[in-house]
Chains A and B, each alone.
Chain A
Amino acid sequence: MSEPRSTGDDPVIDKPASIRHLQLKAGLLMVALVALVVSSVMFLLYARGAFEPTQRLTLVAEDSEGVVIGMDLTFAGFPIGRVRSVELGDDGKAHIHVDVPKKDARWLKQSSVFTLVRGLVGNTNIRAFSGILTDAPLPDGAVRNVLRGDSSDEIPKLVAAAKDLVANLTALTAADSSLAQTLANLQATSAKLNGPRGALGTVFGNDRDAQRVVTTLERANALLARLDGVTARADAQVFGPGGVMPEVRDTVVQLKTLLNDAHGSLKKMDAILDDAQAISGNAKAATADLGALRTDVDANLRKIEGLVNEINRKWPFAREVEIKLP
């Protein structure tokens, strides 16, 4: 412990040690304290915006949760205003009064949009967005609605969606689910594909039918082999040296000659027909003369008939021509 220091002159109390420039040192300390206190107070007042002219902006929100006095209004990430007070308005909505310094108010326009965003971590943020910077500036005392973007509001929806998703996934991956059965079938199919019957066994489903297809194919192969031999022989018979085709060619030549002969015969026939046509013309004329002759003959016959009739009438035995026996 230090030795007692006293100001008195009592013999019981020790005499104080003298200090050079005591008043000056004490004065300096006091001046330092006052200067520090005054400068600190002025700095805090400046930091809280006490010396800068501001304009008032009122933001109307449905919910003021997370909004605290002194929080910033930011534009493009820079703080341009402070929340001075929050009150419940007569319309049942939260009225957030924001002081915006005049020098920063130029960023706020008539068309500016204000959002109140509450993140999962950290403070609530009030942000201003000015899409049209050439728009008219926001007047002092303006009242604007604030859009609320609350990420925590989305959590229940997200959880519900995730729950549905998990339920679907669970149903999908269950042991008796369609997917599991399909995979099992696929596995069996791939095993069959890798089996001795391969894809045929997979397609027909049983080994018996697959065997029948294989047998059919083998028989078809044998048939094709035989058909190949038949074709070779037919080729030799048809196109070979003593085949059908040379004879056919000779026949065709003979047929051509025959046709030429037939052509000549037909021409002669044509001439004959012309003659016959002339003969028939003559016969036609003769037939016309026959008509007149016939008329004459008919007249003579009628006269003969009349004569006969007259003889019969005059002949006494003419009426009894039949002898009736007793």
Chain B
Amino acid sequence: MTAHTARPGGAFVLVGRQMAHWLLGWWRIVHFSAVIGVMALSPGSYGPTQRRAIARHMVLDTAPVLVWFTLLSSLICMVIARIVVVTALSYGLTQYALEMLVRVLVIELIPLTAALFVAVRCTIPHGAEVAVLRQRGALQALRQRGIDPLRHEVLPRAVAGMFSVALLAVLAGVVALVLAYLVTYGFTTWALDGYTRTVGRVFHPATVVVFLTKTLLFTLAIVLVPLGSALHDGTRSRVSAEVRGLVRLFALLLLIEAASLIDSYV
């Protein structure tokens, strides 16, 4: 026990200070998100140099993982689809298997998987890169030269991360829809009408809104939290900053998923 915590009310002061620090960290991330959002929606942010940088990050972030993620998600989808179909068959509930598959795979599982994959593969390393640049003073040097470091170094990474999540999620969703049909009916076309109808029934407009909102929030979370933490975290330790960013990221993802589940099923 240190001397200052032994004073009356010292614990409350310490808790209050940590709470304020925690709130300040989140506020900085929210502020950073707003700034990046404004920049992303500003046409001036897409000059030739910026476009080249964004294209470069898009290719580097998305192309290498596209095939692997598609294969991995296909494998997971096939395993889950097979389990669901066999289980439904054994319980005589095959008429609900397809709807359950589409709902579980495409609406619930794919967006979360894509977001986590992109976070681990791209945006968290991006945050570490930005943290390194900040610690090396590169961002300050750019600012002194009249170049906005956010627009110059951070925005291309953020846009590339969002693009990567969107592309992987849509691609994995389409692959999951195809695989669910193949696992359920095999290589035949006679069930296409019924399958199309089932998909249409699952994707009710309200469900689509929840699905898109959830995917968008996932994307923003995995892009903005690591970058925001890397830019504004006061600690000098890079590992500590990354861990803190990860904790924030997973807490936010959990919150979004819980909110979407509550909105969809409660």
Residues of A within 8 A of B (CB): 1-8, 10, 12-13, 16, 19, 22-23, 25-26, 29-30, 32-33, 36-37, 39-40, 43-44, 46-49, 69-72, 79, 82, 121-122
Contacts and interface: CB of A to CB of B under 8 A. Distances in A.
A43 B156 CA distance: 32
A256 B215 CA distance: 140
A270 B244 CA distance: 165
B49 interface: yes
Interface in B183-217: 194, 196-197, 199-201, 203-204, 208
B129 A33 contact: no
A30 B81 CA distance: 30
Contacts of B138: 6, 8, 10, 12-13
A121 B95 CA distance: 12
Given A1-B128, A22-B55, A48-B203, A8 B153 contact: yes
Contacts of B218: none
Tell me if B's interface is mostly helix, strand, loop or mixed: helix
Given A10-B138, A22-B55, A71-B201, A33 B170 contact: yes
Given A12-B137, A12-B141, A22 B56 contact: yes
A304 to B, nearest CB: 152
B95 A2 contact: no
A44 B56 contact: no
A2 B196 contact: no
Nearest to B130: A4
Contacts of B201: 48, 70-72, 82
Top 7 nearest A-B pairs by Cβ distance?
A: A47-B200, A26-B55, A12-B138, A7-B53, A48-B200, A4-B129, A36-B170
Nearest to A50: B200
Interface residues of B, number: 46
Contact of A29 (B59, B145, B147): B59
Given A29-B63, A29-B163, A122-B96, A13 B133 contact: yes
Nearest to A46: B196
Contact of B52 (A13, A22, A29, A82): A22
A23 B170 contact: no
B174 A1 contact: no
Interface of B: 49, 52-60, 62-63, 93, 95-96, 125, 128-129, 132-133, 136-138, 141-142, 145, 147, 152-153, 156, 163, 166-167, 170-171, 173-174, 194, 196-197, 199-201, 203-204, 208
B203 to A, nearest CB: 5
Contacts, number: 114
Nearest to B207: A70
B132 to A, nearest CB: 6
20 contacts: A2-B125, A4-B129, A8-B147, A8-B152, A8-B153, A10-B138, A10-B145, A12-B138, A13-B133, A13-B138, A16-B56, A22-B56, A26-B54, A29-B163, A36-B171, A36-B174, A37-B170, A44-B200, A44-B208, A46-B196
Given A4-B133, A7-B56, A79 B204 contact: no
B197 A5 contact: no
B129 A22 contact: no
Nearest to B196: A47
Contacts of B128: 1
A23 B96 CA distance: 45
A99 to B, nearest CB: 12
A175 B167 CA distance: 77
Contacts of A40: 170, 173-174
A5 B167 contact: no
A12 B153 CA distance: 13
Contact of B59 (A7, A13, A26): A26
A33 B166 CA distance: 8
